[in-house]
Structure formats: C-alpha cells, structure tokens
Chain A
Amino acid sequence: MKINKYLELHKRGILSLLLLGAFLLSLTYIPWSSDLIHAGGRSTINEVIRSFFNPDLSPHLLRIGFIASWQTLAYAVASIALALIIAIFLGVLSSGVLFESVFIKTFCRGLLGFMRAIHELIWAWLFVAAIGLSPLAAMFALAIPYGGILGRIFSDLMQDVETPQILALKTSGASPMQQLFYGYFPASFANMLSYTMYRLECAVRSSSILSFVGLGGLGFQIQISLSDLKYNEVWTFLFFLVILVVLIDIWSNLLRRRLSQ
C-alpha cells in the first residue's frame, strides 16, 4: 500500500531516471575511435565559420544577391498564389460549409491529404519528369503540397467559426454561399491571412531548395558558390535569404495589426 502510494507520487521522476539510465548505457555501445567523425571535415568547418564573419560584400555580388532575392520572392509569391486558389476551393468544399454531402467532404479532405503527404521535392521530381526543367515545374511542385496544407487549415478554421453567428445568418435567410461570405470568411480571415504569410516564408525557403529544377534565385546562386567552395559568397546569399524571411515576417505582423484594429 505504502509502496503503491510512493510509486503513484513519483512515477514521472522514476521514468525520467530510467530513460536517463538507458541513454547512459547506450553511450557505452558507441565505438569511440577517430573514425567517428570525418577527419578532413574539421578544416572545412573552420573555413565555413571563418567566412561567416567575412561574407563577400562586393558591389557585384550584392547586385546578384538583390536580383536573386527578387526572383526567389517572385517564385514564392507565384507558388503561394496558386496554392491559395487550390486551398480556398478545396478547403471550402472539405469543410462542408457549402455542401453537406459526406462524399464531397471526404473526397476533398482526402485529396488535400494526398497533396500534402508528398513532399515538394518529390513533386518536383515528378514535374521535372513530366514537363522538364523549368520554373513552371517548380512552381507546381510548391503549389500542390502548400495548397494541401493551406486547404486543410482553412477548412479547420471555417469549421471552428462559432455556431450562433452562423445560425443568426441562417435565420435571416442567408443561403450557404451567403453564409460563406458574410460568416465563415470574415470570421476566419485574420487567421487565414497570418497562416498564408507564414507559408509564404516557407515557400521562400523551399524555392531556394528547388533551384535544381531550374528556378533561378538565391538557391541557384548558393549552389554555384558552394560548388566553387566560396563559402563567403554562400554566406552572403544566406544572409539575403534570412533578411527576406524577416521582412516577410514584419510585413505579416503589420497586416495583422491593421486587421485587429
């Protein structure tokens, strides 16, 4: 009885101790030899760290950086625009706001799940195979999984709109389409917007990875500089990427503040 009570009180502490023990035990299984870490790596790391403090800020490279940032932003915005169209269309249908049909709801929900279950890199491979190395392929590759993610979020946001408000619209004779525009959209707009802006940040990041598909922009420049082992140039472009994401964040905050007034 007493032991039971003791266990009940300290079960979390006991679990933590057990897990810590397992971790310590696992350390003894590691072959602690010099092969563990690639020996030549150290100098590379030093080089990378040194160029972090010493990025290439020559006017020529900065010009390339600006143009590349602009391209990256343009691709990201275009992809998000495409994703938004998909998301609003499928999100509304899968929320069941317009049609109560379980079939439509489940089908659209499934479609959204399918789109976002596959990573943008894999979509990119598929589209490159289908339409070749082109910016269009990369934009589709981004828009499809992002549309799937945004659509799911939009659908959930609309389902969370409080029922009294919608009920009031119903009793004043609003059709489902009118309820959408006078109830569901305005009530969830602020959250939709802020999540879309967050996704725009992600799209900026991802479009730099997708440069291999033929997207120009920061990712492409980083790739070139990396293959030349010019780490100071790599850092310059990475700083551009960071600044871009921070600027989008600031923009998003300004928009949200204006909406909440």
Chain B
Amino acid sequence: MTSKKVLELKNISVAFDSNKVLSNLSLSINNGEIIALIGPSGAGKTTLINIVANIIQPDSGEMLIDGVPSISINNRKEYAKKIGVIRQQFDLINQLPVIHNVLAGRLNQWGVLKSILSLIRPQEKYLAKNALSRVGIIDKMFEKTANLSGGEQQRVALARLLVQNPEIVLADEPVSSLDPARANSILSLLVDLVKEENQTLIVSLHSVEYLKKYFTRVIAMRDGKIYFDLPIDKVKEEDLKAVYDLEVTS
C-alpha cells in the first residue's frame, strides 16, 4: 500500500441560500485508506460526498484528485474512472434486468452505439458475470432488478461499482435502509472488494457501531466543519459521544 495522495481538499466552502453547509474544509486522503465519515444529520456529510463526486460545485476552494485539480477533469467519463459512488439501493434502474444495471458501470468506456447494442445483446458479459459472482448473486443475472430484495439490490450496485472500477469509492449511507445483519454483510463485502482492488474508500455512516471493525480512519463532521480526524486506534468513546452530543455547539 503506497501512501500516494489520491484526494486533497483545500479550503472548500459551500452555501445553499446563504446557509453555510461546509466552511473552509481541508482534507488529505492517501491511497488505500478506508475512511468512515460520521456526524449528526445536517453536518454536511452528503454535501462533502457530492462535492467529491462532482455533483455539487464548491463556492470556493480547490480539490485535487491524484494531484490534478478536479476542475481540469471536465469530462464526465474521465471523472468516472477516478471516482465511483454507491448510495442506498434506490439508484438502480428497477425495470432493467440485473445484468444491464451492472454493465452500466461500463458506460464510461462505451460509445452510444455499443451501449444501445448491449441492451439487446449484452456486451463484455464476462465483466458482469465476474462482478456478480464476486458479490454472490450470479444466479440473479437475468432477473428484473425490481424483483430483488434490498440487500440483493445493494449487491447489484456493488457489482456495478466493480465494473466501473474507479480509484476512489464514495459510499453515501450505503446500508441505512437495511436491517443490521444485512447492513453488516454489505459493509464487509464493500470493504473487502475495495481492499482487493486496492481502491480508496470513503463511507458516510449515521451510526458508529461498525467503525472499529472495518475502518482505518474516522472523520467526524459537525456544522460543516471537521470535528475530529483520527486514525481508528486513537478514537475514544468520549470523542464519538461528543460528535453527536446535542448540547455542544462545536
């Protein structure tokens, strides 16, 4: 595991309707880190993820991906090779069979004709096969996505991410709509896959129960600022309590 800087945020600020959501946020993330992003609702976790995912543009500040300013990557397809996103399972196209949702991870490599052709006769099928067997639902390949359970759908989203194969994986509350057993297995699968692919992972979570088990670093946010940013072995119980404490106003 090299300690190459894959992501660097410098003084990022965002406001929605003159409401500061992120203020002067700076971060530096190395290749291979498994990071948990925690904090109460409204702390700015999702906004931060959306900025890194290039869905929201910051009002000020700079972001470097692999040392390159993100604004110079103006092509969506190039960006998708760097950064992939997984959310709750609701972001799949339910009406399509599983295989097409998985192969959608390949759209950044395909031209329009090839992607349309693929809907009729799946292209590079081995990629989908391989990804689906790694997430353990190879038998669902041709099933309609809507007919899968929540946990299975989240595995489809993981398979899509495997096919997309970005350098950095962002997960925005990936398990918040699953029951504890399923949440645990999806999270462990996500972390395993990211490690196998030598990717970097940032997961936003609304609970702290999985921190010790899977993550190497914890970034806690509060009121649009970083409250603490520590390696997992330095995080103390009091710190975690303080992040969510209603009384403390940063």
Contact = CB atoms under 8 A, between A and B. Distances in A.
B105 interface: yes
B115 A178 contact: yes
A175 interface: yes
A112 to B, nearest CB: 25
B234 to A, nearest CB: 32
A152 B105 CA distance: 31
A165 B116 CA distance: 18
Contacts of B90: 162, 164-165
A134 to B, nearest CB: 36
Interface stretch (B30-38, B73-81, B179-187, B239-247): B73-81
B68 interface: no
A111 interface: no
Interface in B98-147: 100, 104-105, 107-110, 112, 115-116, 119, 144
B85 A165 contact: no
Nearest to B115: A178
Interface string A169-187: 1111111011001110011
Measured as residues with beta carbon below 8 angstroms from the partner, the interface class of chain A is: 20 to 34
A121 interface: no
Interface of B: 53-55, 76-77, 79-81, 83-85, 87, 90-96, 100, 104-105, 107-110, 112, 115-116, 119, 144, 157, 160, 164
B119 A181 contact: yes
Contacts of B93: 165, 169, 182-183, 186-187
A189 interface: yes
B104 to A, nearest CB: 5
Contacts of A177: 112
A172 B164 contact: yes
B103 to A, nearest CB: 9
Nearest to A182: B104
24 contacts: A162-B90, A168-B92, A171-B53, A171-B83, A171-B85, A172-B80, A172-B84, A172-B108, A173-B81, A173-B108, A173-B164, A175-B76, A175-B112, A178-B112, A178-B115, A181-B116, A181-B119, A182-B93, A182-B104, A182-B107, A182-B119, A186-B100, A190-B95, A261-B144
Query: Taking each of A170, A182, A187, A189, which has the highest tally of chain B beta carbons within 10 Å of its own beta carbon?
Result: A182
Query: Taking each of A165, A167, A174, A187, which has the highest tally of chain B beta carbons within 10 Å of its own beta carbon?
Result: A174
Contacts of B164: 172-173
Contacts of B54: 171
Contacts of B84: 171-172
A257 to B, nearest CB: 14
B108 A174 contact: yes
A167 B115 CA distance: 18
A172 B95 contact: no
Given A168-B92, A182-B115, A187-B95, A173 B107 contact: yes
A206 to B, nearest CB: 31
A150 to B, nearest CB: 20
Contacts of A174: 76, 104, 107-108, 115
